[in-house]
């Protein structure tokens, strides 16, 4: 009796490995390229739909491989047009992704982990236990599905991708970078690297590694405080990644890549929105060429913070601008469906 074939996730194979498989099984090399095109560029997850592949070859593929399919489990539409999806993974886990439409952009906000281990005090996702990392094909699939939503609902494809959903991308470093490689590849979605932003809570050694890998995508650092005492309270990760260590890592990153850094700074009333903190932020921005996105705080159940009032926000932004720091005030989108920054927690 023949031993049962142990199936593999076909998207875990490189193009070269797929070619080897076909040649080993007496198939022509070009068949592997055709299948690779179906799997990535066309984003198909069904062997029977590969119309230029013979039935015999499709059966061979089904004997040896499977797809870790991702599906939309829930969908909510905000009054401002933002669409939040709960994506069900092959093991039943749920992650969330968001389509953020504006006049100029169609942005996909995607997740990199099931849950998160960082427990930032202002973030609902941080209250979830980290279950596992997403594989690069699961990250890729979120982009594919959100791009379909953009085309179906707004007749326009994605212009930007931000890794700002659930999880810390740099704690899933390999899969994050591999997903970006597929998204930007001509064999994949062909999106320009400059259209992709990876956001991190601040892991100094991994920011240094981004420099070593000379990445082309954009980097955003969730800063939210301008001194270690305040940041320790807001973001536990700062206790192992001080602002000084982050500054050194960012200098190294900039030397290696030449990429400007974006600082995400959520304004909390009476916590980090004074003129003293504004001056400290100006000082921190001198380390590398950078800009600041000032983010409106989005309330979460039982949260300890309140958002900064409009006058304080305007005063803070104006101070940065007058001191040579480009600053944009980002208004929240999708708050009514818990789809805004810091609200993703699988709550529907």
**78 φψ region: left (φ > 0), alpha (ψ -120 to 50), beta (else):** beta
What is the spatial distance between Cα 23 and Cα 60, in angstroms, rounded to a whole number? Answer: 13
191 and 140 Cβ atoms separated by less than 8 Å? no
Q: Residues 109, 266, 285, 341: which is the catalytic one?
A: 341
Query: Which uninterrupted H or E stretch holds 151?
Result: helix 136-154
Cα distances from 281 to residues 88, 145, 248, 292, 327, in angstroms, run 40, 37, 16, 9, 11
- Displacement of CA 313 from its chain's centroid (Å): 26
Strands (E), the chain: 8-9, 65-66, 71-77, 83-88, 94-101, 106-109, 113-114, 132-133, 160-163, 196-200, 218-222, 261-267, 290-296, 327-330
96 is an active site residue: yes
Output the six-digit token pair for 310.
Answer: 């409009």
Output the six-digit token pair for 68.
Answer: 């870790």
What is the spatial distance between Cα 150 and Cα 226, in angstroms, rounded to a whole number? Answer: 37
Q: Residues 27, 85, 96, 116: which is the catalytic one?
A: 96
Catalytic residue annotation: 96, 341
């Amino acid at each position: 009796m023949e031993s049962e074939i142990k199936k593999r996730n076909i998207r875990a194979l490189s193009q070269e490995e797929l070619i080897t498989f076909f040649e080993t099984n007496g198939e022509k090399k070009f068949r592997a390229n055709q299948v690779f095109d179906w799997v990535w560029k066309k984003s198909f997850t069904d062997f029977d739909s590969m119309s230029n592949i013979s039935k015999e070859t499709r059966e061979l593929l089904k004997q040896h491989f499977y797809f870790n399919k991702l599906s939309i489990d829930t969908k909510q539409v905000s009054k401002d047009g933002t669409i939040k999806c709960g994506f069900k993974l092959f093991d039943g886990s749920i992650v969330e992704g968001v389509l953020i439409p504006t006049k100029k952009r169609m942005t996909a906000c995607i997740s990199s982990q099931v849950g998160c281990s960082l427990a930032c005090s202002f973030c609902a996702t941080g209250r979830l236990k980290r279950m596992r990392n997403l594989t690069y094909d699961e990250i890729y699939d979120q982009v594919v599905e959100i791009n379909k939503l953009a085309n179906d609902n707004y007749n326009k494809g994605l212009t930007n991708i931000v890794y700002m959903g659930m999880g810390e991308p740099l704690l899933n470093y390999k899969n994050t970078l591999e997903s970006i490689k597929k998204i930007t590849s001509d064999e994949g979605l062909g999106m320009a690297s400059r259209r992709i932003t990876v956001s991190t809570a601040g892991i100094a050694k991994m920011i240094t590694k981004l420099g070593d890998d000379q990445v082309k995508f954009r980097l955003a650092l969730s800063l939210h405080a301008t001194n270690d005492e305040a940041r320790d309270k807001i973001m536990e990760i700062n206790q192992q990644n001080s602002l000084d260590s982050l500054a050194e890592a960012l200098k190294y990153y900039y030397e290696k890549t030449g990429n400007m850094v974006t600082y995400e700074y959520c304004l909390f009333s009476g916590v980090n929105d004074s003129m003293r903190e504004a001056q400290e932020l100006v000082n921190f921005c001198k380390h590398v060429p950078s800009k600041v996105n000032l983010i409106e705080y989005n309330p979460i159940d039982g949260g300890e913070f309140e958002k900064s009032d409009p006058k304080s926000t305007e005063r803070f932004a104006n101070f940065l601008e007058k001191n040579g720091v480009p600053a944009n005030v980002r208004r929240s989108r999708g708050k009514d469906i818990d789809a805004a920054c810091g609200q993703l927690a699988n709550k529907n």
